[in-house]
Structures are given as structure tokens and as C-alpha cells.
Amino acid sequence: MSALPSSIPSLQRRPIRELPDELISQIAAGEVVERPASVVRELLDNALDAGARQVTVRLASGGVRLISVEDDGQGIPREELTVALRRHATSKIASLNDLETVGTMGFRGEALAAINAIAELSILSRFAGADGAFALDGRTGELRPVARTVGTTVEVRELFFATPARRKFLKTDATELAHCIEAVRRHALARPEVGFSVWHDGKLMEQWRAADQREQRLADALSDDFVAQSVAVEHIGGPVRVVGRAGVPDAARSRADQQFFYVNGRFVRDKVLSHAVRSAYEDVLHGQRQPVYALYLEIDPSRVDVNVHPTKIEVRFRDGREVHQAVRHAIENALAAPRAGDAVTPAVPQQPFFKPNVPASGATWAQPGIHFVAAERGAGDFEAMWPQRTGGPGHEPESGASRWPTADAAPAAFRVSVGPAAESPGAGAGTHEQAWPLGRALAQLQGIYILAENSQGLIVVDMHAAHERIVYERLKTQLDGAAITSQPLLIPATFAATPQEVATAEACAAVLPALGLEITPFSPRTLAVRAVPGTLADGDPVELARSVLAELAQHDASTVVQRAQNELLSTMACHGAVRANRKLTIDEMNALLRQMEATERSDQCNHGRPTWRQLSIRELDALFMRGR
Ligand SMILES: Nc1ncnc2c1ncn2[C@@H]1O[C@H](COP(=O)(O)OP(=O)(O)OP(=O)(O)O)[C@@H](O)[C@H]1O
Ligand SMILES: [Mg+2]
């Protein structure tokens, strides 16, 4: 061990002394104000707390030279202007009880004092009901009369002028400006009824007019696409209400730049919330894709502590579990309702409320302008139309037409849809066909896509992706129930297994039945698949067994079904789903379409890709320049 250097400076100790007030303020300011955008945030909080309906933000040089926030709120009385700049001076709380139920953005009485410690600050304000307006110079404390209407303008110049070291940490003006605008956007998304505008170096950068609808503000401040590519969220779970919009998986981005979460109107970043969102999307969004969302959680203020972070960006929930659950369910439910596969679908005429039979899943169909209850699940069982698999490997069902059920063998509900594809929509089609959201199958394209027509035009379905989702959802429902229904094979499928596979099959002997599988050693180097999930009876049992064993080998056998359930089922579903290049009859295609309508989340495959798209007549017309 080397000796410590003899010249440790801390040994020359100073006596303990209280820091001068100015230094205390500067240290405290460091926690609140990191960059110009922090000042914008604090001043906007104050404006909104004062009841502003219109807020104008003016910036110069990315906010470093000037940040001015003007509001038409209630103003500050002349005699309180000087007090507003003192540390721990606030009009928003007066007791601990107030703090526990605080409903305003601010409550510490620190922001203006902090800003005043590190910049040149002045406040111009006219209090509602007062005769005139006054301006306070934060540095000199001078108060002079000025002319202005009711409201407040806070001007902050030369940020960090006294602390050049901090100023060096700032990025370019363009970057700081972007952060400032983002701070305004966050407030704007929380308060659609307030108008906002942002100016930079004399140029109008953003303007969001007061809106009656949250959707309008989301469209203005984010984009029309954000609204078109998201579903409405509205959910009450215990003492928690979650509203807003959650992006469809298709709208997910590589960056997490459109994720807005609010708790009682305050923008927050919270582990409980982000975990809940992630787990809600887990099923439809794989990999690194980032969902987009703007979600607003409303909860009794006494159930959340907002006083845990200097910038109030973090909160602590009294019961994290109830919040996690509410958020997760809110998003899952919203995403589960199948919706238009495409954002460009134009408004469609109101359709009759179609309700042949409420499906077990209760999936509702939320295409813009249409509100369907999807067709009954049993109305056409796609797999039931497949030839039953009876043998071992090498017994792949052929795609010969004779092996498929004929129109006569199809369930009664589908006979109506068998017929020449050339029929014009609506002409000979029955009411049911018109009302089927995914329409009536016309043909199969390249062994990959199903083409169907509905009242709006053409539907294109990726048949493997769609079927995979159906199989997956069914397996999941069964496993949630207890175990996946299994179907014994008449002749067990045996295969030469690796020692690892044999070991896994033995170790997981207790787990496999829950997955609907029975895999037992046949000899030291051979495994026999004796039963497979009924839903997957048509796939290759050996391939299925191999991939499930490979997945199980990565996990601890005792917990695998809970922890890795979704991945496992996803793997299994992929094996069970109809393969590309398999020829389908019109009946089978229709059966698949009806099952999609009855299946939750059927508009995305397990990997978050869309399973179908609508090409409207209008888009088709546009392709051919009709009606121009
Ligand atoms: N734009 C404004 N309109 C009306 N009153 C304001 C405005 N800005 C500040 N005030 C008054 O000045 C006080 C001090 O503001 P400051 O931001 O320092 O503290 P706060 O908002 O109470 O708490 P916090 O430090 O958590 O923001 C406020 O309590 C409020 O009464
Ligand atoms: Mg404040």
C-alpha cells in the first residue's frame, strides 16, 4: 500500500461558519436552474398558477440573454412584489397540511429567489383590481410605476452572468432554444385551454391557440399524425383516473421524444409510470421501439408526494402498485380495441351498429366513424377448417384443394360469403358482409396477403402476421385461465434430441403441461412429443418442441411460465400460424378475417407490425387520377 500524499489540502481545516446569504441562494439556485429551459419552466408554472389564459414567451440568444414570460393572470399586489423574490416566500401554501394536498405547480417559494440569484430579474405586474402596475428591479429592489394591463411579466436577463463556470456548460443557442420550446410544449400539452406563443430573437417560433379539446392541442403542439396514430385512453382504476392518448405500435419511434406523462397536470418522469407503460406495450412492441403517448393521470393530491425533487420532475406515489396497475390497464385496454390499420383512412359514413353476437373478448372496433362490436369468435374458426394433423414429422398437410373443406362444409355463417369475387360492393352482398369491418375476402396475393373488400375500399391482410396474433391471444387467454388446452397426438412425434434438449425436457416436465405440451424421453437420445396445444395442432410438433425447449433452457424452470410467458407464447404462436405460400380458400380467408375482428390487438402482430391496411376508394381513385 502506498502512503497517502502528505499534502492533503483538507487537513488545513477552516472553522465551521454559516455561508453568506448570497452564496446560499446561488447554491440553492443550482438545484432549480440548470439552463434557460429551467427558468422557462418555473415562470410558466407561476403564470399558470396565477390563472393565465394567454402566455407569451420571448427569448433572445436561446434564452441566455433574455427570457421574458408575460401572462394575463391575477398579478401580484404592489406590496408583495419584493416579498416574491425572497427565499421560501410563497402565496401557495401556508401549512404542512397545504403541502400534502397541494394543487398548484409551485409551493416552495424558491423559484424567483433562485433565478434572482443567478440572473438579472425584474417583475412587472398589475394586480387584479389595483389602480396601476409596478415594476420591481430584482437587483436594486427599486419599485416604480409602469403601465400595463392585469397580469405579470417576468424578465430574466444574462443568465449565469455571475457564475461564468456554469455558463460554460450551456450548449449552443439553438440547443438551448430547443429545450426552452420543449418546456413550453410540455406546459401547453397539460393546459389546452391556455394559449401559448414563443418568440425567439423577434421571430414567432410556435403559437398554440387556446383549444377546447385536448386532441386539438395535441395535434397543434405535436402533430396531426400524433392524434391520427394514437388511440384515446380513458380508464378509472381505484382512486386513479388515466386519460389521454396512446400511440399505436405502428407509430413507435426510435427515440423516446414523444412521451408525455402528467400527474395532476404536472409533467413528470417516473419509474413506476414508465415501467407501467412499457409493460402495457410489451405485448405489441418488441425491441427498442419507443411508443408515443400523452397521458394524464389524475389522483387525489394526498396520494402523491410532489416534494421529492428540486425541479419537481419526480413524484412519489403513496401506493405505487395501484398507479402501476391503473396505467397499465388503461393503455392495454385502449390498444386492445382493434382500430383502423391505417392513419390515412378518410372519414367514412356512419355505419349501423353491428352486433351479431358479443364476442367473449368483448373487443370493440374503433375505426374513426365506426363503432362495431366485433363478430362472434365462434362464427368461423379458422383452425377448425384446417385438416387435422394426425401423424409425426414429414406429415405436412398438403395445400391441395381437395384437402380443404368445401363451401358446403363451411360453417353456415360463411356460406353467404362464398361466391364470385367480382360482385360489386353492396350490390349482391348481404348486410353482414357490408358490416364486417375487415370485409369480404376476394383473393390471395403471392401466398402472403389476403385481399378483401369492405365498404370503404380494399383491405390487405398479412395472413401470417394476423394469424400469429390470433393464435397468440388465444394461447394467452388459455394460459391465464390455468393451462393451455392440449391435444394428444395419435402417433407421438419422435426426434433425435441433443443432451441439452433431453435435460431441459426432464427438468421442465412439470411446466410443459401448462403450455399444452407433453415431451418425454423415448430413449437417452430421443424425445417424443405426445401432445401439443390444440390451437397449434396443425403445426410441426418437432419444430415446436425444439423451439420451446430452447427457450426454456434459458430460464429457471420453476418460474419460466410466469416470467417468460409472453415470449414463449409468441414463439409458439409463430409455429402455429399459417405459413406464407399456403393456399387458402375464400372460406378460410373469410374465417381468418372474422377471427381477426373478434381478437383483441389483432391489428398488430406480436412484433408490433401492422397486420392489415385499408386502401380507401379515395386513395385508389387518387392512384388512377379519377375524378380530377
Ligand atoms: N406570474 C405570476 N403571477 C402572479 N403571481 C406570481 C407570479 N409569479 C410569481 N408569483 C407570486 O410570487 C410567489 C413566489 O413565486 P416563486 O415561483 O418563487 O414561488 P412559488 O411559485 O410559490 O413556489 P416554487 O418555488 O415551488 O415555484 C408566488 O407564490 C406567487 O404568489
Ligand atoms: Mg413558482
Q: Is the CB of 109 under 6 A from ligand 1?
A: yes
Residue 52 contacts by C-beta under 8 Å, 6 or more apart in sequence? 71, 72, 73, 151, 194
pLDDT for 367 equals 31
Q: Which residue minimizes the CA distance to atom 21 of ligand 1?
A: 106
Q: Which three cell numbers stand for residue 483?
A: 393451462
Percent of the chain scoring above 90 in pLDDT? 44
- Pocket perturbation via mutation, ligand 1, pick of 43, 107, 112 by most ligand atoms within 8 A of CB: 112
| Distance from residue 607's CA to the centre of ligand 2 (Å) | 44
In angstroms and rounded to an integer, the radius of gyration of the C-alpha atoms of the chain is 32
pLDDT for 187 equals 98
| Distance from residue 301's CA to the centre of ligand 1 (Å) | 20
Specify the pTM: 0.64
Question: Exposed (0-12), middle (13-18) or buried (19+): which is 83, by Cβ within 10 Å?
Answer: middle
pLDDT for 373 equals 30
- More confident position, 500 or 303: 303
Taking only the tens place, the pLDDT of each residue in 549-597 is 888 877 665 565 665 677 778 878 877 777 767 788 888 888 889 888 8
Q: Is the CB of 341 under 6 A from ligand 1?
A: no
Q: What is the dihedral of CA 600, 606, 609, 612, to 10 degrees?
A: -40
Average pLDDT over residues 252-272: 93
Average pLDDT over residues 164-189: 92
- Pocket perturbation via mutation, ligand 1, pick of 46, 49, 85 by most ligand atoms within 8 A of CB: 46
Average pLDDT over residues 125-136: 96
- More confident position, 238 or 402: 238
- Residue (of 461, 466, 457) closest to 444 by Cα position: 461
**In this model, does residue 383 exceed pLDDT 80?**
no
pLDDT for 560 equals 59
- Pocket perturbation via mutation, ligand 1, pick of 42, 49, 104 by most ligand atoms within 8 A of CB: 49
| Distance from residue 110's CA to the centre of ligand 2 (Å) | 7
CB-based contact 505:514 (threshold 8 Å): no
pLDDT for 348 equals 30
pLDDT for 227 equals 96
- The closest ligand to the CA of 68 turns out to be 1
Interatomic CA distance for residues 41 and 36, integer angstroms: 9
- More confident position, 407 or 501: 501
The whole-chain average pLDDT of the chain stands at: 81
- More confident position, 440 or 377: 440
**In this model, does residue 83 exceed pLDDT 80?**
yes
Most confident range, picked from 120-124, 419-423, 474-478, 506-510: 120-124
Q: Which residue minimizes the CA distance to atom 11 of ligand 1?
A: 84
| Distance from residue 386's CA to the centre of ligand 1 (Å) | 70
Interatomic CA distance for residues 480 and 299, integer angstroms: 30
Question: 33-42, 174-183, 402-411, 600-609: which has the minimum mean pLDDT?
Answer: 402-411
**Which atom from ligand 1 is nearest to the alpha carbon of 71?**
1
**In this model, does residue 73 exceed pLDDT 80?**
yes
Residue by residue, DSSP assigns 77-129 as -GGGHHHHTSTT--SS--SHHHHHT--SS--SS-HHHHHHHHSEEEEEEE-TT
pLDDT for 381 equals 56
- More confident position, 590 or 162: 590
Q: Is the CB of 38 under 6 A from ligand 1?
A: no
**Which residues sit opposite 604 in a β-bridge?**
610
pLDDT for 6 equals 56
pLDDT for 582 equals 76
How many residues in total does the chain contain? 628
User: Amino acid letter at 380?
Assistant: G
pLDDT for 475 equals 82
pLDDT for 8 equals 58
Q: Please state whether beta strands 259-263 and 293-299 pair in parallel, antiparallel, or not at all (unpaired).
A: parallel
Question: 91-100, 110-119, 312-321, 596-605: which has the minimum mean pLDDT?
Answer: 596-605
Interatomic CA distance for residues 42 and 112, integer angstroms: 8
pLDDT for 382 equals 58
pLDDT for 596 equals 87
pLDDT for 339 equals 56
Cell 413524484 appears where? 315
**In this model, does residue 448 exceed pLDDT 80?**
yes
**In this model, does residue 392 exceed pLDDT 70?**
no
CB-based contact 73:151 (threshold 8 Å): yes
**In this model, does residue 96 exceed pLDDT 80?**
yes
pLDDT for 340 equals 45
Average pLDDT over residues 306-331: 92
253 DSSP 8-state letter: B
Round to the nearest angstrom and report the end-to-end CA distance of the chain: 87
**Which atom from ligand 1 is nearest to the alpha carbon of 69?**
1
pLDDT for 497 equals 87
pLDDT for 108 equals 93
- More confident position, 394 or 81: 81
Interatomic CA distance for residues 184 and 611, integer angstroms: 37
pLDDT for 375 equals 32
**In this model, does residue 423 exceed pLDDT 50?**
no
Question: 212-221, 336-345, 523-532, 592-601: which has the minimum mean pLDDT?
Answer: 336-345
- More confident position, 156 or 359: 156
**In this model, does residue 347 exceed pLDDT 60?**
no
Average pLDDT over residues 491-507: 87
| Distance from residue 47's CA to the centre of ligand 2 (Å) | 8
- Residue (of 473, 464, 468) closest to 566 by Cα position: 473
Question: 122-131, 189-198, 237-246, 565-574: which has the minimum mean pLDDT?
Answer: 565-574
Cell 409493460 appears where? 279
Q: Which three cell numbers stand for residue 504?
A: 431441459
Q: Which residue minimizes the CA distance to atom 12 of ligand 1?
A: 84
- The closest ligand to the CA of 91 turns out to be 1
Q: Which three cell numbers stand for residue 234?
A: 380513458
Average pLDDT over residues 434-448: 85
Q: Which residue minimizes the CA distance to atom 19 of ligand 1?
A: 109
Q: Is the CB of 91 under 6 A from ligand 1?
A: yes
Q: Is the CB of 50 under 6 A from ligand 1?
A: yes
Residue 339 C-alpha from the chain's centroid = 15
Q: Is the CB of 25 under 6 A from ligand 1?
A: no
| Distance from residue 273's CA to the centre of ligand 2 (Å) | 25
Most confident range, picked from 174-183, 391-400, 473-482: 174-183
The neighbour count for residue 537, using CB atoms within 10 Å, is: 20
When pLDDT is cut at 50, 70 and 90, the band that residue 390 belongs to is very low
**In this model, does residue 422 exceed pLDDT 60?**
no
Average pLDDT over residues 490-504: 87
Q: Which residue minimizes the CA distance to atom 28 of ligand 1?
A: 90
Interatomic CA distance for residues 90 and 109, integer angstroms: 4
Residue 221 contacts by C-beta under 8 Å, 6 or more apart in sequence? 185, 188, 189, 206, 208
